[in-house]
């Protein structure tokens, strides 16, 4: 196990009716003038936004609001939010929605206290200072409710990049699984896929003797394997929703990733797809991961064989461990398809002729010089081959 520091200060409120505590939570963490930030309208239609406002009013907390965050959130609304916060002297940002809303909130929170262009943070500068952010989560997926990360797409060139820093870890996150019962099945499945991707990105490590985190990841993958189909079959299954929601947080607040190197090549390769085609991040990952895994499998066959046996129930072929490894990848891909996720470029809405553009955007610009690195380092030719495997 490698040396690490781990700081996870988020206060979690988990369970039914948690949103009614929004006002007391904001107060507890020092907010007096709040920006309520939300997406394309699901929180308006469900009545959640009204309940949150009522909770703030009950505590005498002033607020202003900014809706309209799109999935794969854009820089334009971030700039708008920064200006609004400065004008209204906002001191706390409350994200009500999914990963896109939370990430846009984090970007605004960092941008308000920064003299330069907030995009600097998305080019490798660590976020050291930000307004406090609280979240009320409506989809189990990105894990942004407990993570120090934010992913934004710059509209001028559709560059999708991440920024990071403990300063943007939410002060509190309200997780009410019942709020996720209104999700369309496709979004539930995309969320399940993203959660499993966050686990695989950490499982694919070059560190040795990381038994505790290996076992934690496997436990969470087994949970997703059990609960995912139950939620797709019965969207109102509160208990399954609850297990998935907590697994989504555990998968990405990095408690399963400490002390080990991590991959993130699948995420980087996928981000170009959701940037160019505006597809759901989880759907893009469903197409990306099997291709990446098959391409890099040889780097450490036993890692893939281990997850195949421990999670996917494959029998170990000691003479040909590559057979077991591949069986595990195929079982994972078939699982994602059974949830309703796309299998290839065509089903995702991607085009083979765009591969050179995808590779160029992936490997160049914003600090990248022809390669991306993780479990293995991939150059442009590797990335081209991987995108071709998805066609």
290 touches ligand NZQ (CB under 6 A): no
41 touches ligand NZQ (CB under 6 A): yes
Task: Answer for the pair 74, 66: CB distance below 8 angstroms, yes or no.
Answer: no
Nearest to 117 by CA among 66, 163, 169: 163
- One of 61, 179, 242, 247 touching ligand NZQ (CB under 6 A): 179
Closest approach of Cβ 97 to ligand NZQ, in Å? 5
Closest approach of Cβ 347 to ligand NZQ, in Å? 18
Tell me phi and psi for residue 321, to 5 degrees. -60, -25
Q: Kindly tell me the burial class for residue 183, based on how many C-beta atoms sit within 10 Å of its own C-beta (0-12, 13-18, 19 or more).
A: buried
Tally the C-alpha atoms within 13 A of residue 236's C-alpha that lie toward its C-beta. 0
Measured between alpha carbons, how far is 299 from 359 in angstroms, rounded to an integer?
22
Closest approach of Cβ 140 to Zn ion, in Å? 12
Closest approach of Cβ 275 to Zn ion, in Å? 14
Q: Which is closer to ligand NZQ, CB of 42 or CB of 223?
A: 42
253 touches ligand NZQ (CB under 6 A): no
User: Residues 127-146: x/- map of binding to ligand NZQ (CB under 6 A)?
Assistant: -----------xx-xxxx--
42 touches ligand NZQ (CB under 6 A): yes
103 touches Zn ion (CB under 5 A): no
Site size with ligand NZQ, rule: CB under 6 A:
35
39 touches ligand NZQ (CB under 6 A): yes
Q: Which is closer to ligand NZQ, CB of 151 or CB of 296?
A: 151
Q: Which is closer to ligand NZQ, CB of 38 or CB of 345?
A: 38
232 touches ligand NZQ (CB under 6 A): no
Tell me phi and psi for residue 97, to 5 degrees. 160, -150
Owner of token pair 């609960």: 227
Q: Which is closer to ligand NZQ, CB of 194 or CB of 327?
A: 194
Closest approach of Cβ 58 to ligand NZQ, in Å? 23
Sign of CA dihedral 53, 58, 59, 63: positive
The one-character DSSP state at 74 is B
Burial 289-325 (b: 16+ CB within 10 A, else e): bbbbbbbbbeebbebbbbbbbbbbebeeeeeebebbb
- One of 194, 214, 218, 382 touching Zn ion (CB under 5 A): 194
How many C-beta neighbours within 10 Å does residue 359 have? Answer: 22
Q: Nearest 5 degrees, angle CA 186-CA 312-CA 231? A: 30
Instruction: Name which of residues 145 to 184 contact Zn ion (CB under 5 A).
Output: none
User: Residues 150-169: x/- map of binding to ligand NZQ (CB under 6 A)?
Assistant: xx------------------
Measured between alpha carbons, how far is 248 from 224 in angstroms, rounded to an integer?
9
- One of 95, 136, 149, 161 touching ligand NZQ (CB under 6 A): 149
Instruction: Name which of residues 196 to 225 contact ligand NZQ (CB under 6 A).
Output: none
Site size with Zn ion, rule: CB under 5 A:
1
Measured between alpha carbons, how far is 42 from 14 in angstroms, rounded to an integer?
21
Owner of token pair 């907030």: 118
Q: Where does this chain bind ligand NZQ (CB under 6 A)?
A: 39-43, 71-72, 97-101, 103, 138-139, 141-144, 147, 149-151, 179-180, 182-183, 187, 191, 194, 252, 267, 274, 281-282
Q: Where does this chain bind Zn ion (CB under 5 A)?
A: 194
């Amino acid at each position: 196990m490698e040396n690490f520091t781990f700081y996870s200060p988020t206060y979690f409120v988990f369970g039914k009716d948690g949103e009614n505590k929004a006002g007391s939570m904001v107060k507890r963490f020092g907010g007096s003038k709040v920006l309520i930030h939300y997406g394309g309208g699901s929180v308006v239609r469900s009545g959640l936004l009204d309940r949150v406002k009522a909770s703030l009013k009950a505590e005498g907390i002033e607020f202003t609001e900014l809706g309209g965050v799109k999935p794969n959130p854009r820089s334009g609304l971030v700039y708008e939010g920064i200006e609004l916060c400065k004008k209204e002297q906002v001191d706390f940002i409350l994200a009500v929605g999914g990963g896109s809303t939370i990430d846009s909130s984090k970007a605004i929170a960092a941008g308000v206290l920064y003299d330069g262009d907030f995009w600097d943070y998305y080019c490798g500068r660590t976020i050291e200072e930000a307004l406090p952010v609280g979240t009320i989560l409506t989809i189990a997926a990105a894990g942004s409710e407990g993570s120090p990360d934010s992913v934004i797409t710059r509209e001028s060139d559709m560059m999708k990049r991440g920024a990071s820093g403990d300063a943007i870890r939410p002060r509190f996150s309200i997780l009410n699984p019942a709020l996720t019962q209104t999700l369309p099945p496709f979004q539930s499945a995309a969320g399940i896929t993203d959660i499993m991707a966050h686990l695989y990105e950490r499982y694919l490590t070059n560190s040795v003797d990381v038994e505790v985190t290996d076992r934690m990841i496997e436990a969470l993958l087994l949970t997703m394997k059990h609960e995912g189909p139950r939620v797709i079959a019965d969207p109102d299954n509160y208990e399954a929703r609850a297990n998935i929601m907590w697994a989504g947080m555990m998968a990405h607040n990095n408690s399963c990733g400490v002390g080990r190197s991590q991959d993130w090549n699948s995420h980087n390769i996928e981000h170009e797809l959701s940037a160019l085609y505006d597809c759901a991040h989880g759907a893009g990952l469903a197409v990306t991961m099997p291709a990446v895994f098959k391409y890099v499998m040889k780097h450490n066959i036993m890692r893939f064989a281990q997850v195949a046996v421990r999670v996917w129930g494959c029998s170990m072929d000691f003479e040909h461990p590559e057979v077991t490894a591949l069986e595990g990848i195929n079982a994972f891909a078939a699982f994602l398809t059974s949830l309703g996720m796309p299998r290839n470029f065509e089903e995702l809405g991607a085009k083979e002729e765009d591969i050179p553009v995808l590779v160029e955007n992936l490997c160049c610009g914003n600090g990248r010089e022809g390669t991306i690195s993780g479990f293995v380092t991939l150059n442009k030719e590797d990335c081209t081959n991987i995108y071709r495997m998805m066609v």
